[in-house]
Amino acid sequence: MPTQKKGGETVSTPKNGTDVLKIIKDKKIEFVDFRFLDFVGMWQHFTITSKEVDKDTFDSGLGFDGSSIRGWQSIHASDMLVVPDPTSAKIDPFMVRPTIAIICDIEDPITREAYSRDPRNISKKALAYLKRTGIADSAFFGPELEFFIFDDVRYDQTSNSGYYFVDSTEGIWNSGREEYPNLAYKPRHKEGYFPTPPADSMHDIRSEMVSILETLGISCEAHHHEVATGGQQEIDMRFAPMLEMGDNMMWYKYVVKNVARKNGKTVTFMPKPLYEDNGSGMHIHQSLWKKGKPLFAGKGYAGMSDMAMHYIAGILKHARAICAFSNPSTNSYRRLVPGFEAPVNLAYSARNRSAAVRIPMYSPSPKAKRLETRFPDPSCNGYLTFSAMLMAGLDGIENKLNPGDPLDKDIYSLGPEELAGIPNVPASLEEALTALKDDHDFLLKGDVFTEDVISTWIEYKMDEEVNPMRLRPVPHEFMLYFDV
């Protein structure tokens, strides 16, 4: 593998195509990489030489085959356009040849209408709806993505076999392995939170990730080892406007994966890759602002405003449907299991990390007032998840929903009678998709999501993920049932 650059190169944010062309000229950029998100949530790209880019590129866009993208066009209507957003241009920190990457929106080449299944377009429509309501003019989001860094990953599935194997030099299961020499310092199960090096062997890799994110203009507040053994990590980005955070989340995953690969390691955002230890969540902080002033600060519970409480009520009311986007994999529900570390109970509280919605109490500043949803995980499509949560919160505000009383107890310690009245998140992806099918009118307001988007999402997830999992035996079933 060729030597990679150690970091990106900071450039001023371009305002239009002319600015991008100037960067290409000044920085001697050789290639332009066009990126967009597929329906499920993976970045796609293609690259052209910089001499092929001119002002018209930013207006007319470039054609591609939409039928080859998951969940998109049928083959008889496959022609689509990528239209680059010049304000998103960043110099790629990993490409050997000087390359600038531009995030694109998707349009129909005939009507030039924004494509309804483009996740970035859905995010834009959610923000437009927010402004039309007059409730606020800005929505800020701050996701905390957790992930694992592994040293070896192998998996396969055939008609007569199936297995996975993941390994990490940090894994406590390797405490007795011959490593010539084995130097120990491997975090025990559930003891990976905040130890210093040498137990935290990933510090320098995380610092490299943060350094590159910062050069890309993505501010990071902290990084640390997370709870699980086997290399669980967290890097926290500073909150940003919703659309910008959707873009930042894609850069985050891209940078983290490529820095790991450069160091001979690999990263996964799977919610639950290890048995008997914590899974990876994605706590999402969010708040609404208007004319530069925060709207969630007030004199109510935990220093929150009535608007904030209505927003929380909307999240709790629609949480089961939101899970179809925020916890979109079958693996998501290996993490969301009652009685374990993930918050599955749909309640809210101040400081309490066992509640699905938490109100952080670190600072009395009105600017710091926000809510934190704790059930999502990082396998999700950020644009869709943020949009769904915003629409649920706005539904709560518009209908003045009441979130009920807070639950200021350790929910994990409550008995069956106390838990009986507290609703839970879905127990499976299929259950979440059913909830979305039954409860999605709040998403259709302002044509943010469409019936086509909802039905296509449900159909894709059922056909490509839920049903294939139903058909396959898993290794533990042999331990349970082979001798029946």
Of 391, 378, 326, residue with least CA distance to 126: 391
- Residue of 374, 377, 430, 440 marked catalytic: 374
Task: Tell me which amino acid residue 140 is.
Answer: F
- Confirm whether 398 is a catalytic residue: no
Task: For helices 451-461 and 429-438, give the axis angle rounded to 10 degrees.
Answer: 160
- Confirm whether 276 is a catalytic residue: no
- Residue of 105, 107, 170, 234 marked catalytic: 234
- Confirm whether 374 is a catalytic residue: yes
Residue spans of alpha helices (H) in 270-347? 306-326, 332-335
CA pseudo-torsion sign 138, 144, 150, 156: negative
- Residue of 117, 206, 225, 283 marked catalytic: 283
CA atoms within 13 A on the CB side of 393: 32
Buried b (16+ CB within 10 A) or exposed e, 149-159: bbbebeeeeee
- Confirm whether 146 is a catalytic residue: yes
- Confirm whether 372 is a catalytic residue: yes
CA distance 484 to 480: 8
Task: Tell me which amino acid residue 309 is.
Answer: M
- Confirm whether 261 is a catalytic residue: no
- Residue of 45, 224, 353, 431 marked catalytic: 353
Our measurement of the distance from residue 76's CA atom to the centroid of its chain's CA atoms, rounded to an integer in Å, reads: 32
- Residue of 59, 65, 179, 410 marked catalytic: 65
Phi (first) and psi of residue 288, to 5 degrees: -110, 145
CA distance 305 to 328: 31
CA distance 403 to 317: 8
Our measurement of the distance from residue 163's CA atom to the centroid of its chain's CA atoms, rounded to an integer in Å, reads: 27
- Confirm whether 179 is a catalytic residue: no
- Residue of 146, 151, 236, 377 marked catalytic: 146
Give the three-class secondary structure for 138.
strand
Which positions are catalytic? 65, 144, 146, 226, 234, 283, 353, 372, 374
